[in-house]
A and B are shown apart, each in its own frame.
Chain A
Amino acid sequence: MIQPAIHTDGLTKVYSVSQRESGMAAALASLVRRRTEEVRAVDGISFDLAPGEIVGFLGPNGAGKTTTLKMLSGLLHPTQGALTVLGHVPWKREKTFLRQITLVMGQRNQLVWDIPAADSFELNRAIYRLPRADYQRTLHELTELLELGPLLKKPVRNLSLGERMKCEVAAALLHRPQVVFLDEPTIGLDVTMQRRIRAFLAQYNQRFGATLLLTSHYMNDVEALCRRVIVIHEGKLLFDGDLASLVRRFTSHKTIIVQLETCPDDLQAYGEVVSCEDGLVTLRVAKGETPRVTARLLADLPVIDLTVEDPPIEEVIERVFAQHAAEAQAGEAP
């Protein structure tokens, strides 16, 4: 059996956060006695990642994604649970472990602000003790894949956000890590740049067989890169499986888009009319009804074009969280 690249079992992180009411009296009281509250940022999550997998790690703000990534990369000590990455216990931060991983955190910089990125890359070569020939080869590949050529000689502070992010990603991957953690790698970037970073990550994964775990608010990132997604909410694991089955499981409706000559009046008979403009009708239909409604539409109306789609992934994720909240509420009710 192949050893998983990442293994977690009951991974938990509890923070102790000090609490205080507003006002002077509370301020004075807190001098004597501090009240702390335990926050379970990550609450007993378990999953394995096989070597070479790309997995999307999804959840709303505060769900525990970054905390989990920090535990996986060795920056945070788990409160409970088992955790290994490439057979190492991350928080021990052994050099052999650190040489095989990287964590790309949004705007956090690997790069020295005042000097050209090429100089920072050279520093990373020394830090990771990369043989010159290997380093040159990787740098050449990264330069090509990310189109870094003209950027390398400019001081980092003179680069645009997108340009800087490309250099950040390159700096983080120069040592060819086997496991790559990415926290919002495309945040703040324009669509073209997002697409380029995405394509690059897919290529990196294929070329080096690296395992990638990424969080992103852009569902396009997830759809383009990840067959499998892990969804967490309030520190708990809600879903772990392929993206298609997430959509299947959490969608009760499909969207039918029909192109007609004009907008007829009696469309409600077919399903919920989301919109109709210039004959382009968008209908929301219960999943089980879709084949029947489609057949009726084709039989009854002069259809020019017709497509059936799953709802956007954002909507699916929203449903996952909504359903979880409803279940939690039902659980609390007497």
Chain B
Amino acid sequence: MMGLAGLYAAQFRTSLATMFQYRAALVIWLISQVLDPVIYLIVWSTVAVAGGGSVGGYTSGDFAAYFLLLTVVNHLTYTWIMWEYEYRVRGGTLSAALLRPVHPIHADIADNLSSKVVSTPGILLATLILGVIFRPTFHFAGWTVAAFVPAVALAFFVRFFVEWTLALASFWTTRVNAINQMYFVATLFLSGQLAPLSLLPPAVRTVAAILPFRWMVSFPIELLQGNLTPRQTLTGFAAQAVWIGLGLLFLRLAWRAGVRVYSAVSG
């Protein structure tokens, strides 16, 4: 266990050192992370105002609160692994990783977390400034704030394991971009990035809850904004736990099968 902690610490330092080499890229990436939710926020606030002050129970202040929280939660749970894997498989860097006596996922987790350490202050600052401009209406309560922290942590792992597993499609096909695009469209709608899930038709809401999408982004925001009862919150945690378990299971199976394909044809 100490060895793994040492590995994470070393990987963490390496990732930080690498990121600091690309400060400009980091800033551009931060802007893009903030821009999407701001656009949706402006659109929905305008719709709310035009609709006589609210849409589906959301006032423009509620929309502001939702999308600002979305910016933070999306940032904290975001991964870029699906964009990277094809390059690793075709470019041969995966071979180097396979020859090391440690599963490559550890490097990715450490890498992702270290990037969050660097970029989160920037995201929080941006959110704060946007808060002054858009005047959000928050509905925080003591217990929801406390429950929000594990909800975001679990959401990170749900998203991470799901996306890491999907990224492994690179072992089988060179056309992973099509798969990625499909997944990102699904995420946009079903994880609550385009609009709060409660504004979507019931059928879509059900799909979002059965699949992992709601538990990756929307759930922590719903919780913090006081939309959930303690019972619904516990159910949410259970759903996250189930998806982490399933995610790990799929990941393990896909990894084994993928490496078998890799070692049969390319290496």
User: A-side interface residues toward B, CB under 8 Å?
Assistant: 15-16, 67, 70, 73-77, 91, 93, 95-96, 98-99, 101-103, 105, 108-110, 112, 114-115, 119-120, 122-123, 125-129, 155
Contact = CB atoms under 8 A, between A and B. Distances in A.
B260 A77 contact: yes
A98 B97 CA distance: 11
A91 B265 CA distance: 13
Interface string B6-46: 11011101100110011000000000000000000000000
B3 A129 contact: yes
25 contacts: A67-B267, A70-B95, A74-B99, A74-B263, A76-B263, A77-B260, A91-B263, A98-B100, A103-B99, A105-B92, A108-B92, A109-B93, A109-B96, A110-B96, A114-B22, A119-B13, A119-B14, A119-B17, A122-B13, A126-B6, A127-B7, A127-B102, A128-B101, A129-B7, A155-B21
Given A76-B267, A115-B18, 19 more contacts: A70-B95, A70-B267, A73-B99, A74-B98, A75-B267, A96-B101, A98-B99, A109-B96, A110-B96, A114-B17, A115-B17, A119-B14, A119-B17, A126-B3, A126-B7, A126-B9, A127-B7, A127-B101, A128-B101
Size bracket, chain B contacts: 20 to 34
B264 A77 contact: yes
B23 to A, nearest CB: 12
Nearest to B94: A75
Q: Is the interface of A mostly helix, strand, loop or mixed?
A: mixed
B109 to A, nearest CB: 14
Contact of B14 (A16, A93, A103, A123): A123
Contact of B10 (A73, A110, A126): A126
Nearest to B17: A115
Contacts of A120: 14
Given A126-B6, A155-B21, A98 B14 contact: no
Contacts of A115: 14, 17-18, 21
A144 to B, nearest CB: 24
A126 B267 contact: no
B159 to A, nearest CB: 25
B99 A102 contact: yes
Nearest to B259: A93
A75 B95 contact: yes
Contacts of B18: 112, 114-115
Contacts of A95: 101-102
Nearest to A67: B267
Q: Residue among B9, B96, B265 with the most chain A CB within 10 A?
A: B96
A123 B10 CA distance: 5
Interface in B120-159: none
A112 B21 CA distance: 12
Interface string B59-76: 000000000000000000
B265 A93 contact: no
A108 B95 CA distance: 9
Contacts of B21: 114-115, 155
Nearest to B21: A114
Nearest to A66: B267
